[in-house]
Each structure stands twice: as structure tokens, then as C-alpha cells.
Structure 1
Amino acid sequence: MWRIFALALALCAAAQPSENVQNNSSSLPVGKPFTSDFFFRQLFDEESSTYSYLLADLKTGEAVVIDPVLEQAKRDAQLVKELGFKLKYAINTHLHADHITGSGWLRELTGCQSMIAAASGAKADVYLEEGDRIEFGSHFIDVLATPGHTNGCMSYVIKAQGCVFTGDTVLIRGCGRTDFQEGSSESLYENVHSKIFTLPDYFRIYPAHDYKGQLESSVWEEKRYNPRLTKDLEEFIRIMDNLNLSYPNKIDVSLPANRECGVYDIPKE
């Protein structure tokens, strides 16, 4: 009887994953669930393939939106109203070239304040620098400076929720181009590897755009499968120097408008 019992224990132990297997860096890590008082909604603009993110504290109702789009500002304001939230900040990851920010219009529609990096050269109510903390309710966002795509690129980390909003710095299996707006391939690479890729592997990555229908990635995935950022610095620079991308369609309209927080191009209706 005791031999049978001992054998059963041994089989049960063998069936349990060992600590080494669970922590093996070659295994896909499972992202931590959002806390019960944290609201997350990913929104999309089809024309520019831009993701905007509405985040809120469900206890206090304070909310923020990251990378709003001008043409979707009324949609976003209506959603905030319907959900009973109070929009506190409209936050930009950088000075966009492919669409006009909705920050200015959201400010008029909701009374929120606009935010962008001080290094961006754009107007805003609040200017951000690395080390700043954006608070909404009991939640907060830590600000990382991750220039390279532009001088003013920021990434926004919410440690308690295990996620980072990377703008155009890290895209899903890609990264932002570095051939205009004071772009620097070396700066982008070094900031990604020293700041974003040093976050825990399970952290979810939420980019500003995706053109293939992918919603999110993770630090673990991009460290292994990003076809550009997995290369060494020299090879990465060579890749970025030879992308031969076309001139952005809306850059001549978007940049002047975004330097003014999008406010001079607010629709009249």
C-alpha cells in the first residue's frame, strides 16, 4: 500500500511543471490580468491605422486617452460620457506625422488637458519629461523618454497592470521609421534595448499603429521575433537606412496642426 502511495506521489510531482520550466525564458510568459478597478479600451482609426487607448479608474471615474485622433474625438468624448468617466488628460506619445491629434478637440469637448513631451516642440497644457508620473484616480503612468523615431517620443508604462504604450518606438514586429523628424536609428535602438526590453518579459506592448490587424504584443515576443530590433546595432542601422519608404501622405498637414495641439484644424460641425 505504501509503495503504491509513494508511486502516486511521484507521478503527481512529475506531472507538475517545475519552477525551472515556468521561469524558462524560452517559454511564452502569461501577462498578468488587469486589476478589477482598471478600465482598458483599445480604439481604432481606420484611415491612419492608429490605436487610441482609453484608460480609467473605475472607482473614481478619472480617465485618460493615449494618442487620440482628430476625426475620432467626438466618438471618444461620447464614449467617455456614456461610461460615466471624467477625462483628465489627452496624452500623445509623440508629434505624429500621419494624422492630426485629437487632443485639442477633446479639450474643447471634455475640458481635459493635453500632454506631450517637452522635446516634441508642440504646444500642450502639460509638458512631459522622463521620470514624470501621470496620475488618474489611484492609477499612474510612468513616463519614459524613448526618442529615435522623433526627438519627442515617449513610452508610457503602467507597472501595476503589466503594460507599456510604445507609440511608434516599438511596433508589432517592427518600429517607427527614422528618416525624418530628427530621427536617429542609433537612438531608437539604444532606447528600446535599455528601457523597453528591460521591462519584464510578460509586459504587454500596445503600439500606436498596426497595419496587419494585430492588437498587441509583449516584451518577450519583440525581443525574439522583431525582424529589426533583434539584430545588432550595426545591422539595425543598415536596415533602417535602406527601407526606402515613401514620403508620408499627410505629413505636410499633420505636422503644422500637431505643433498647435491640433486645435487650429478642429472641424466646425
Structure 2
Amino acid sequence: MIFRQLFEQESSTYTYLIACGDTKRAVLIDPVLETVGRDLAVLAELGLELEYSLETHIHADHITAACRLRSLTGCKVAYPETDGLACADVLVNEVNPLQVGALTLQPLFTPGHTDAHHSYLLERPGALRIFTGDALLIDGCGRTDFQNGDAPALYGSVHEKLFSLPGDALVYPAHDYEHRHVSTVAQERERNPRLGRGRTLDEFVEIMAKLNLPYPKRIDAAVPANLLCGACPGEEQAIASEPPGPSRQG
């Protein structure tokens, strides 16, 4: 297996590149529009063919690169089925895993940050990885005050779906604002100040109600664009001006 954790500084977003070492087929989880060039360069360097872009949810803090990557590489755009996006090529759910070569990404429905949020479980010999999107962050979690967020639902998602995984499962979140890269299920159970440490549902709901966070700076642009898989003004012109290269597929 080939694995890379990539970072976009403006929104502190992690994009994950996962590829089958035998077939060289790859998936990008939560790609960001501004880092398309970087991602294509990494794919070319590793000799990989992008089969899918895959989203954990409809983001409010950045615009996805999904439609741009599809235009440039011929990959398929995959979204949780419950998002109901007509622009998606592949709809994933818990009974329809995503196959990338010999690798299987198992979707887990983890609503609460948004009502359609999914996490993705990847099991390989010696390592269990869970890509938690915004449902579970390192020492935190995604907010629940917009996009049909629901604090009790998020509490249930984390405790029933994520904290029930083996303690040594590696937790890879969609964001980190403190330059941390990975956690484990056991660590988050033990020390996550919002969801771990034996926090009750009532305590969690109270914590989330008192966050009083400002709305994401790009929400008014990001959400409408992401409902169209990242479509944005000038897309066709940008694609037409993009020179062919070794990463262009299909």
C-alpha cells in the first residue's frame, strides 16, 4: 500500500492519498481545490492513476477539488450516498465499500457534524486506519451548529462507531490546527476533552452549545460549490488552459 498525508495550510485540511501498490490505482480523500497541482505532482511522481476522489462530507471551510480532478484525470467523484449529489459518479454507504485495487475503504455513517458525514475504515495487515473527517479530531471534534449538525448524533456516532474500534486503530482526521498528524482510538477515548474522559451526552451537548465559534470564512462560497462537487466560476477556462502532462488520464 502507498500512503501519503498531505496538508493545505489555509484551511488546515488534511488530504489523504491511498493507493494499491500492485495496481497503482489511487484515491484522494478530501482533496482541496487550491492544491490540485501538488496532488497531481505526487501522483505523477509515484506513478499512480487516480481512480477516485472521495469526500467525507460537504465542507464549509474549503472548496473540494473533486470536479477539477475529474476533468484533469478522468477519475470518478465519490460522495456519501446520503448527500444525494447528482454531480457524483459513485455513491458510497455502509453496504457499498469503495474498492481501490486490492484495497477496501469501508464507509461508516457518522452523522453529527453534518447529517450525511461518513468516516472511512481501511484495514491492512498490522494496521487499522480510520479517516474520521470532522467527526473526530485530535483532542476535539467538528462543530455541530450548521449544515444540519446535531450534537447528540455526533456523540452517538463517535461512541458507537469510532470508539468501538480497537484501541490501536490509527485516527486520521480531516483537520488539525496544532501540527499534529495522527492519534489512536485509545488516546481519544482517554483524553479527548469533548468526547473522551467518560464525558456524558449531556456534558457534550453543553460543551458544544457554548463554543460560540465564528462561521467559517468561506462558508458562503464553499457550501454552494461543494454541493456541485466543487464546481466554480471559470472551471472550463481553467481546464482548457491546463497543459497536458503525465498525470492526465482518460
136, 150, 175: which one aligns with 1:170: 136
* Aligned with 2:75 (options 103, 106, 112): 112
- CA-atom RMSD, angstroms? 1.1
Q: 1:249 Cα shift?
A: 0.5
2:100 aligns with one of 136, 139, 144: 136
Q: 1:98 aligns with which of 61, 80, 90?
A: 61
Q: Does 1:211 align with 2:174?
A: no
Of 110, 116, 129 in structure 2, the residue corresponding to residue 146 of structure 1 is 110
Q: Give the SS at the match of 1:183.
A: coil
Q: Does 1:39 align with 2:2?
A: yes
Residue of structure 1 in register with 2:217 after alignment: 249
Query: Which of residues 216, 219, 238 is equivalent to 2:206?
Result: 238
| Larger helix percent | 1
Gap runs ≥5 in structure 2? 242-250
Question: Over residues 216-245 of structure 1, what are the superposed CA-to-partner deviations in whole Å (9 max), with x where a residue is unaligned?
Answer: 111000000000002110000000011001
The SS at the match of 2:232 is helix
2:189 matched residue in structure 1: 223
> Does 2:11 align with 1:48?
yes
Which residue of structure 1 aligns with residue 45 of structure 2?
A: 82
- The size of the alignment, in residue pairs, is 232
Q: Give how far 1:58 is off.
A: 1.1
How far apart, in 1, do the equivalents of 2:100 and 2:92 lie?
A: 15
One-letter amino acid of the structure 2 residue matched with residue 206 of structure 1: Y
Q: 2:33 aligns with which of 70, 75, 80?
A: 70
Residue matched to 2:153:
187
1:158 lines up with 2:122 in the alignment: yes
Q: Which residue matches 1:201?
A: 167
| SS state at 2:4 partner | strand
Structure of larger gyration radius: 1
One of 196, 212, 228 as aligned partner of 1:260: 228
Are the equivalent residues in 1 in contact too, given 2:50–2:73 (CA < 8 A)?
A: yes
* Deviation, structure 1 residue 119: 1.8
Cα distance between partner residues in 1 of 2:157 and 2:204: 13
In 1, Cα distance between the equivalents of 2:84 and 2:38?
A: 28
Q: What letter corresponds to residue 109 of structure 1 in structure 2?
A: L
CA contact (8 A) 2:63 2:225 kept: yes
1:121 Cα deviation from its structure 2 partner: 4.1
Q: Give CA-to-partner distance per residue, 1:94-152, whole Å, 9 cap, x none.
A: 00000000111111111100111122243311112223211111111111000000011
